[in-house]
Amino acid sequence: MKKSKKILLLVSLVAMLAVILTGCAAYKTGANAAPKGGFFGLIYQFIGIPIRNIMLATENAIGGSNGAGWAIAIITAVIRFVLLPLMLSSSKKSTIQQEKVSRLQDQFKLIQDALKDRSLTPDKQMQISQLQQKVYRENNLSITGGIGCLPLIVQFPFMIGIYQAVAYSDALYKSSFFGVSLGKPSLLFAIVGALFYLAQSLLMLRGVSEQQRAAMQSTIFISPLMTLFISMSTPGALGLYFLVGGIIALIQQVIVTYIILPRAKAKIDAELKEKPMKVVVTKEIIDNIIGNGSDNSVNSSDSTSSTEEELRKRNAGKQKRENK
């Protein structure tokens, strides 16, 4: 459930960005056909024009035929480094969420296995489904936590602004960066940018459990494909934006994988020694809902206690395997 929601949200964001950029392109009949009003007009007035002026000033300061490209690279780097603390904070929260959720997989598996029973009535299906929400709630976890889409949303206006700055300026539209046009789609920028995001996605798989890796493998190509699709559909300026952004994203992932992730694991392990994850779902509880269990009310306390002890042992065993 949670995994499908993540994929749906990411796909929705990609579709939103594609529609926005298509809308931008619809305004363009020439290098000077800038939007006059509406949503795109506001973006152009408050973001596109300032970025255009900064790019032109930077290009003049740098000089040479590649000045406009260097201006885009510098502006992109500044934007991404300003957002870096937010991105790292989002990555840290996501990492902690994923680590804690991984310790609850035994309970989630009981729920998933129970829901496969086609003989369940709608009422029983609902009761079992609600147990998943209870597992999250009792362990102080958010069902939607750790998705980390805020940094991408914050970047949307700047993506549009860079697009508009180049598309609606004669000087920038005709510029190039090492021979690659900034006013026309660039296959080179699209491929190289996608490769950087693919490297970032593959690096995300390092340091996580096999179970987490299997769950993440279906989403690692979303970001590279999004970069490839958008870069091939828009001017080279935006492709360059994604390329430079991909380099910084890879640096960010190195920090997450080799610094944040080990620290988060150590912190969670220390916390769980003092306060293990709460056992909300047991086979006895599932059986009682389905109607296959005997009267377990007398033994429910003992069952929960023994299950918690078993969970402690599993967590300890998992930690020993990871340390090896």
Contacts of 321 (CB under 8 A, 6+ apart): none
Say how far apart CA 191 and CA 170 lie, in whole Å: 26
pLDDT for residue 3: 47
The per-residue pLDDT for 186 is 93
**What six digits make up the tokens of 276?**
């293990």
Average pLDDT, consecutive stretches of 10 residues, N- to C-terminus, the chain (324 residues): 49 53 44 71 87 90 89 90 84 80 85 86 88 87 63 78 84 89 92 94 80 72 88 89 92 90 85 85 87 46 49 57 54
Per-residue burial over 78-93, b = 16 or more CB atoms within 10 Å of its CB, e = otherwise: ebbeebbeebbebbbb
CA distance 228 to 239: 8
Contact in structure between 228 and 194 (CB atoms under 8 Å): yes
Secondary structure class of 104 (helix, strand, coil): coil
C-beta neighbour count of 123 within 10 angstroms? 9
Rounded-to-integer distance, Cα 105 and Cα 3, Å: 13
Q: What is the largest CA-CA distance in the chain?
A: 83
How remote is the C-alpha of 111 from its chain's centroid?
26
Report the candidate in 153, 184, 173 with the shortest Cα–Cα distance to residue 55.
173
What's the rounded Cα separation, in Å, for the pair 53 and 161?
11
Question: For residue 102, what pLDDT is reported?
Answer: 80
Q: Which two tokens stand for residue 168?
A: 């609606």
8-state DSSP, 259? I
Q: What pLDDT sits at residue 238?
A: 87
Cβ pair 237, 72 in contact under 8 A: yes
